[in-house]
Amino acid sequence: MKPLLVFGARPNFMKIAPIYRAMRARAGFDPVLLNTGQHFSKDMSDDFVAALELPAPDIHLGIGPGSQSAQVSEIMRTFEPVLNEVQPDVTVVVGDVSSTLAAALTSSMCEIPVAHVEAGLRSRDWRMPEERNRVLVDRVSTYLFTTSADADDNLLLEDIEPQRVIRTGNVMIDSLDWVLPRIDAAKCLETLDLTSREYGVITLHRPSNVDDDETLRGLLGALAEVSRDIELVFPVHPRTRNKLNGFQTRDSGLKLLAPQGYSDFMALLANARVVLTDSGGIQEEAVVLGVPCLTLRENTERPITVDSGINELVGTDSNAIVDAARRRLSSPMPEAYRPPLWDGQAAERIVDALEDTPPAWPDDNESRTALEEAIS
């Protein structure tokens, strides 16, 4: 089997790496790596490739910066000739970014099976570009690899045929388990002059949080207030850095850092007392690491992390953020929690499924019959 593995943005790297390693170790698989170049910053791409010990991609589209529509259209334009040349048996896409959508749509148009890793996640917030991407990719995918039971339920409620839905677990946790023994956390903390459990971590990058001046101002005010109680380190995403230039952060009490590589950020997160974030993946990692997580959003596509009690949706109201942070800081650290199949073996199950399960094309007669039986 010749799978084409597509990545291009930071969260993709951690999801593709364990799948690539599992395929390389399996007889009969000849995976091809393709980097779209969606994350054009070396801080946001090259370091992650090195930390995860991914080889240089076989193909690099070099897309670079642009609006979502510009990136999607350019990826589709340059991706189709690649499909014609490589002739993959399946295109594997991960997550919910522009690269995911573009590769899935193009492959579907070329009648190449699509495997969507991390399928079925839903925030129910159509203002999020990621939500639109998830729904569209799931509709055209032939393999829907899910992380948890709620994702299965979401797909079945959307009339997705049951044969296309395969719960495999969370490949993000595969990468987390792989990298933690390989990093020197003590050295990382020493370099930043931090002490384990005596600091918190901030990440902000969602357009709804950083592109609106009023929302961003309120968040920065709340974080500055929390920093009176605990030191807060803030690795700043490039899009957020551009917005912060218009705000006074010098006396905010926040320790602003350059974007951190995967290994260093995992060391920061694993030793934090609390994390305040709008990232989806960090919610999952925090739960497995047992680090209290305050999600600065009104919704999440990962409700299983909230059900664990470790992650809490606090929105963007300043008072709610400060109150939640102080409540967590005065409470004991929670026990780490691993949902079912978040065991570091998700990639192996994905490769098993691709090896053993023929593609179930959307809306074929056999699948439709099975769906009707499942609903009845």
Q: What is the pLDDT of residues 107-157, one digit of tens each?
A: 999 999 999 999 999 999 999 999 999 999 999 999 999 999 999 999 999
Contact at 8 Å (CB) between 102 and 138? no
Phi and psi of 187, rounded to 5°? -65, -40
Tell me if residue 205 is catalytic: yes
In a domain, 90, yes or no: yes
In a domain, 193, yes or no: yes
pLDDT surpassing 70 at residue 364: no
Distance CA 179, CA 265 (A): 11
pTM, rounded to two decimals: 0.92
**Confidence at 46, pLDDT banded by 50, 70, 90:** low
**Confidence at 173, pLDDT banded by 50, 70, 90:** very high
Integer CA distances (angstroms), 372 to 100, 140, 157, 365, in order: 29, 19, 12, 11
Between residues 162 and 49, which one has the greater pLDDT?
162
Expressed as residue numbers, the domain containing 58 is 3-170+342-375
In a domain, 177, yes or no: no
Res 376: pLDDT: 52
State both tokens at 257. 């850092």
For the chain, how many structural domains are there in total? Answer: 2
Is 218 in the same domain as 348? no
Res 195: pLDDT: 97
In a domain, 180, yes or no: no
Strand spans (E) along 258-337: 274-277, 293-295, 311-313
Is 254 in the same domain as 368? no
Res 51: pLDDT: 82
pLDDT digits (tens, 9 = 90+) for 14-45: 999 999 999 999 999 999 999 999 876 665 56
Res 253: pLDDT: 81
In a domain, 282, yes or no: yes
Question: In this prediction, what percent of the chain has a pLDDT beyond 70?
Answer: 92
Res 39: pLDDT: 72
- Candidate ranges 8-12, 248-252, 365-369; pick with highest mean pLDDT: 8-12
Q: Which of 10, 9, 45, 3 is nearest to 24 (CA)?
A: 3
Distance CA 97, CA 141 (A): 15
Res 129: pLDDT: 92
**Confidence at 9, pLDDT banded by 50, 70, 90:** confident
**Confidence at 64, pLDDT banded by 50, 70, 90:** confident
Average pLDDT of the residues in 255-269:
93
Average pLDDT of the residues in 59-82:
93
Evaluate the CA torsion angle 44, 46, 52, 58 in order and state its sign.
Answer: positive
Res 139: pLDDT: 96
pLDDT digits (tens, 9 = 90+) for 192-216: 999 999 999 999 988 889 888 899 9
Q: Which residues pair with 233 in a beta bridge?
A: 201, 255
Is 14 in the same domain as 160? yes
Integer CA distances (angstroms), 342 to 13, 16, 304, 310, in order: 18, 16, 12, 16
Mean of pLDDT over the chain: 92
Average pLDDT of the residues in 262-286:
96
Phi-psi region of 121 (alpha: psi -120 to 50; beta: other; left: phi over 0): beta
With 0-12 / 13-18 / 19 or more C-beta atoms within 10 angstroms meaning exposed / middle / buried, residue 185 is middle
Is 210 in the same domain as 268? yes
Distance CA 266, CA 189 (A): 11
First to last CA, the chain: 36
pLDDT surpassing 90 at residue 189: yes
Catalytic residue among 39, 60, 116, 205: 205
pLDDT surpassing 60 at residue 292: yes
Phi and psi of 179, rounded to 5°? -85, -30
Is 194 in the same domain as 151? no
Average pLDDT of the residues in 162-185:
96
Is 216 in the same domain as 273? yes
Is 166 in the same domain as 130? yes
Question: In this prediction, what percent of the chain has a pLDDT beyond 90?
Answer: 79
Q: Which of 103, 91, 94, 89 is nearest to 36 (CA)?
A: 103
Is 12 in the same domain as 151? yes
Is 13 in the same domain as 134? yes
Distance CA 182, CA 262 (A): 11
pLDDT surpassing 80 at residue 249: no
Question: CA angle, corner 243, sides to 292 and 274, nearest 5?
Answer: 10
Res 198: pLDDT: 98
Q: At what angle do helices 98-109 and 68-86 cross, to 10 degrees?
A: 40
Distance CA 16, CA 115 (A): 12
In a domain, 179, yes or no: no
**Confidence at 284, pLDDT banded by 50, 70, 90:** very high
Q: Is 310 helix (H, G, I), strand (E, B) or coil?
A: coil
With 0-12 / 13-18 / 19 or more C-beta atoms within 10 angstroms meaning exposed / middle / buried, residue 227 is buried
pLDDT surpassing 90 at residue 354: yes
pLDDT surpassing 60 at residue 361: yes
Q: At what angle do helices 280-289 and 10-24 cross, to 10 degrees?
A: 60
CATH number at residue 134: 3.40.50.2000
Distance CA 355, CA 129 (A): 32
Is 246 in the same domain as 362? no
